[in-house]
Amino acid sequence: MPTASLTCPLCEAGCGLAVTVEEDGSVLEIRGDRDDVASRGYICPKGVAVKGLHEDPDRVRTPMLRKDGLLREASWGEAFAEIERRLPAIQAEHGPDAVALYAGDPTTRTLGQLLYLPALADALDSRNIYSAASLNTWPRQAACGLMYGDPYRVPIPDLDGTRFLLILGANPVVSHGSMLTAPDLRARLRALRRRGGRVVVVDPRRSVSAEGADEHLRIRPGTDALLLLAMAHVLFADGRVRLGAAEGMVNGVAEVAELAAPFTPEQVARRTEIDADTIRRLTRELAAADGAAVYAGKGIRTGAFATATSWLVDVVNVLTGNLDRPGGVMFPLPGHAGRPVSRRPSSTAFNLEGPRSRVRGLPAMGGELPAAALAEEIDTPGRGQVRALITVAGNPARSVPASARMRAALDSLELLVCVDFYLNETSGLADVVLPAPSILESPHYPLLLSSYACHNSARYSPPALPLPLGMSPDWETLLRLALIAAGGRRATAGDVAGLDDRLAAELAAAEGVDPSEVPADLRGPERMLDILLRAGEYGLTLEHLQLSPHGLDLGPLEPRLPEALATADRRVHLAPPECLAEGERLVAALSAPASEGFLLVGRGHLRSTNSWLHNLPAMVAGARRCTLHVNPDDAFRLGLRDGGRALVASRSGQLVAAVEVTDEVTPGVVSLPHGWGHDEPHARLRVAAGRPGVNANLLTDEAEVDTVTGSAVFNGVRVQVLAHAGDAAPADQPTPDRRSGLDRRRTPRGPGGIGPESFGPA
């Protein structure tokens, strides 16, 4: 039976999958591809679930059109005719800003979307371009843009060489890495410890990663910037600052020393709840290690001071001489050239100075506005008000802060068009749904993720299965939308093929590739990829990758300074003014009184990817998942019991959650996963509806954003917690598993579903 190799797009690890296809075209099984140069056979339960996704009877396989209030199946012709009838009319009457675009998280791992979304954004010519990046990666990208000149030049921990890894606000053993592409991360951490290295995790929760580390430091949410400033303070006070490979290439060391001066470990200990001696010891261990890396994840990027904290992570890496050295952090060198993504082709120079959002004046990054502004841009009347929205692979009804407002805003739209393979809480509200091919029917190449790789490699996988009759590839759908959006306003070629030719010619010209070298039979994403590969440092072509279905190993990360820097002066800007400007607020945070109530943080689960794997029985079986973690001391004080319910309220909203009493979470902190709340009748997620959980974004607040970028805050949200009156059964009652007896009241294992054992021998 034929076996196809495929890069798993479900998370950033990008593992190689081996897909065995039966003669009738159905999928027999999915295993880890043992020959994959990067993942060498590793796979997690989600990789196997790609089969379940492909086969899910709820998956949308035809376009759908709302008629008489109900979504009904339609032809592509009917679907596009409806968009053509309504979208240009809105643009003509209200101007181009009246149409918004929201690109969800999977677009960062889907080749056709990454390459063709810029054409749609360009054709819309609207300032209202949004993506999940402003719910997730922006603060880190902004810090890198300010320090190194390009938001996609991100120094990555050399996991395979480092001897000291300090992890802040990430749970990579469960998430498999975020802005860090490292298949089988657990094995890599185990190897790190085996060679005598140390892993320290800073997290208000004893996550699976913290459990397996050499040391877990519980921190008060939102205070990591203070911890990092205290570490910088100790480095300066001890005279341990060493720039190493970056010596002679760094501006702003004195400004950082000045900023760090008031942040003594004693001052900071009060706020972080990590004692001063520990801060000093941690700093000295990091500075003394023969290759150390500080790495931060979503807990930092979506917490208080997100950009400043992301910046301070790199400050500590630079001050300890770990930037650009083996065992420290280095810049990957992908197989292809060019900017991996930009929703707008025109946004080449990094700045935070584009036109601001209409209602709140939030900054734009790379020509995009922060998604935390989307609801108010829809519900606030006036010139430039958003009246139509196109979503591509996203679920803003669950992923954007302050869901109640977002939900009402979506309801008020004149037109909602969604490109998705599920009718989720957002696309179920659409006027037109355009389906997408399943993961097995699309080509893959980790265009963005190669910029985050801890080891360079390149792998292209053609679709494992042919496109079914009547399905349109994502990129063609996007180009058809672009043609409608551009209408008569722009000199756009008349059809998809013509527009694709023009885009390929533009890319070749921009990358300095001779178009006659590109095989004439290529089109779509394959042609674009071939151009980008030809322009890359390794001189690859698509054919090279086609001849190596398990990928090409392009070697370990290597020092790349100063060539990797994109700043005008080719220097590292250690003290960007935008970050120094946070200094006053940081000093104020030192003496801020402890807040009342609880701080809410999120948590990930091994069998989840945000809001969209909950419709697969294998992904939701087992223990209760969408529970509010409450520390036993707090539970006792509040009269909460394990298996009972709690009322959780914030400035934005409230919900009733099932309680799980556990000392995994620190007193004063409660934790709830996001992406749940599958309780809306308009979604078609029949399995998910059986154990809906609650929507954490009913509690988050769109007014609380990162000051530098406007990116959303999901961690450290202030909430009140009360025992719920009339407390009967858990809200997250797992109906199907109850019957099969699988409902374990308490999970005996870690939140990732993996045992709490360490990564391996220390």
Ligand X SMILES: Nc1nc2c(c(=O)[nH]1)N[C@H]1C(S)=C(S)[C@@H](COP(=O)(O)OP(=O)(O)OC[C@H]3O[C@@H](n4cnc5c(=O)[nH]c(N)nc54)[C@H](O)[C@@H]3O)O[C@H]1N2
Q: Which residues bind ligand X (CB under 6 A)?
A: 11, 104-106, 110, 132, 135-136, 168-172, 174-176, 178, 202-205, 207, 219, 221-222, 224, 297-299, 302-303, 392-396, 399, 419-422, 424, 436, 474, 601-606, 608-612, 674-675, 696-697, 700, 714-716
Strand 669-671 relative to strand 717-723, pairing: unpaired
Part of the chain binding ligand SF4 (CB under 6 A), chosen from 39-47, 305-313, 626-634, 732-740:
39-47
Number of neighbouring beta carbons within 10 Å of residue 214: 16
Identify what 333 binds: ligand X, Mo ion, ligand SF4, none; CB under 5 to 8 Å per kind. Answer: none
Cα–Cα distance for residue pair 55/378, rounded to 1 Å: 36
Among ligand SF4, Mo ion, ligand X, none, partner that 13 touches (CB below 5 to 8 angstroms by kind): ligand SF4
Rounded to whole angstroms, the Cα distance separating 620 from 738 reads 12
What CA–CA distance (Å, rounded) separates 749 from 79? 47
Q: Does 188 bind ligand SF4 (CB under 6 A)?
A: no
CA 491/CA 324 separation, integer angstroms: 45
Closest contact distance (angstroms) between CB of 16 and ligand SF4 is: 9
The single residue among 5, 6, 14, 706 that binds ligand SF4, judged by CB under 6 A, is 14
Determine if 136 is a binding residue for Mo ion (CB under 5 A). yes
Q: Considering the complex, state which of residue 177 and residue 690 has its C-beta at the smaller distance from ligand X.
A: 177
Residue in the shown chain whose Cβ atom is closest to ligand SF4: 47
Number of shown-chain residues binding Mo ion (CB under 5 A): 1
CB nearer ligand SF4, residue 100 or residue 170: 170
Quick check: 44 binds ligand SF4 (CB under 6 A)? yes
3-state secondary structure of 565: coil
Q: Min. distance of Cβ 381 from ligand X in angstroms? A: 25
Q: Beta partners for 16?
A: 7
Q: Kindly indicate which of the ranges 133-141, 211-219, 274-282, 509-517 contains the residues binding Mo ion, using the contact rule CB under 5 A.
A: 133-141
Q: Which of 11, 243, 378, 565 binds ligand SF4 (CB under 6 A)?
A: 11
- When CB distances are held under 5 to 8 angstroms depending on the partner's kind, the choice from Mo ion, ligand X, ligand SF4, none that residue 222 binds is ligand X
Per rule CB under 5 A, is residue 399 in the interface with Mo ion? no
Task: Decide whether 114 or 433 has the Cβ nearer to ligand SF4.
Answer: 114
Q: Answer yes or no whether residue 180 interacts with ligand SF4 by CB under 6 A.
A: no
Q: In the complex, what is the shortest distance from the CB of residue 53 to ligand X, in angstroms, rounded to a whole number?
A: 8
Shortest Cβ distance from residue 537 to ligand X (Å)? 28
Q: Does 10 bind ligand SF4 (CB under 6 A)?
A: yes
Q: Is the dihedral of CA 564, 570, 571, 577 positive or negative?
A: negative
Is 8 a binding residue for ligand SF4 by CB under 6 A? The answer is: yes
Residue whose C-alpha is closest to residue 227's, from 274, 294, 171: 274
CB atoms within 10 A of CB 389: 25
Q: If contact means CB under 5 to 8 A according to the sort of partner, which of ligand X, ligand SF4, Mo ion, none does residue 297 touch?
A: ligand X
- Residue 543 CB partners (closer than 8 Å, separation 6+): 519
CB of 39 to ligand SF4, least distance (A): 7
Task: Find the part of the chain contacting ligand SF4 (CB under 6 A) among 11-19, 284-292, 325-333, 636-644.
Answer: 11-19
Residue 598: contacted member of ligand X, ligand SF4, Mo ion, none (CB under 5 to 8 Å, by partner type): none
Q: For 354, which DSSP code?
A: S
The region of 4-12, 86-94, 219-227, 390-398 touching ligand SF4 under the rule CB under 6 A is 4-12
- 147 near 140, Cβ under 8 Å? no
Residue 397 structure tokens: 């009804």
Closer by beta carbon to ligand SF4, 182 or else 330: 182
Question: Does the footprint of Mo ion cover residue 302 (CB under 5 A)?
Answer: no
Residue of 13, 289, 415, 575 interacting with ligand SF4 (CB under 6 A):
13
Confirm or reject binding of residue 472 to Mo ion (CB under 5 A).
Answer: no
174 lines the binding site for ligand SF4 (CB under 6 A): no
Roughly what angle, to the nearest 10 degrees, separates helices 224-237 and 253-260?
110
The distance of closest approach from Cβ of residue 194 to ligand X in the complex, given in angstroms and rounded to an integer, is: 22
Nearest to 378 by CA among 402, 411, 409: 409
Residue 576 binding target from Mo ion, ligand X, ligand SF4, none, CB below 5 to 8 Å by type: none
Q: How far, in Å, CA of 144 to CA of 151, rounded?
A: 5
Closer residue to ligand X in complex, CB, 330/433: 433
DSSP per residue over 666-712, as a string? PTTEEE--SS-----TTS--HHHHHS----GGGT--TT-B-TTT--B
Contacts of 648 by beta carbon, 8 Å cutoff, 6+ apart: 600, 628, 654, 655, 656, 657, 670, 672, 699, 719, 720, 721
Closest by Cα among 16, 12, 128 to 459: 16
Residue ranges of the alpha helices (H) in 605-654?
617-620, 632-638
CB of 181 to ligand X, least distance (A): 11
| Peptide bond between residue 151 and the one before it cis (omega within 30 degrees of 0) | no
d(CA 603, CA 593): 26
724: contact with ligand SF4 by CB under 6 A:
no
- Strand order of the sheet with strand 415-419? 70-73, 64-67, 432-434, 415-419, 388-392, 99-103, 129-131
Residue 108 near residue 341 (C-beta atoms within 8 A): yes
Q: What's the CA gap between 724 and 47, in Å, rounded?
A: 38
Q: Which does 109 bind (CB under 5 to 8 A by kind): ligand X, ligand SF4, Mo ion, none?
A: none
- Residue 432 C-beta: closest distance to ligand X, Å: 13
Which residues bind to Mo ion, rule: CB under 5 A?
A: 136
Footprint of ligand SF4 (CB under 6 A): 8, 10-11, 13-15, 43-44, 46-47, 176
